[in-house]
Amino acid sequence: MTDQHWSSTQDKDERGLRERGQTESLRRVPLSRILGSDREIVIEFNGADYRLRITRNQKLILTK
């Protein structure tokens, strides 16, 4: 994703948050910081495991 596309996407996302009355101070974390070089991780939450993965079609899926 180019910097220009990222900026326009980020602006669009922030406008959407404002329109829904949500705060603009949400923390934004790049997926690469979460997944590193992996395409899939397991997240433990409230004693349950959730699988976060990138599909072949570059979609992000979270399953229990």
Map out the domains of the chain as residue ranges: 3-63
Q: What is residue 40's three-state secondary structure?
A: strand
**pLDDT tens for each residue of the chain, 64 residues long:** 444 555 555 566 666 666 666 667 899 999 999 999 999 999 999 999 999 999 999 999 999 9
| Model-wide pTM > 0.85 | no
The CATH homologous superfamily to which domain 3-63 belongs is Complement Module, domain 1 (2.10.70.10)
Is the CB of residue 49 less than 8 Å from the CB of residue 43?
yes
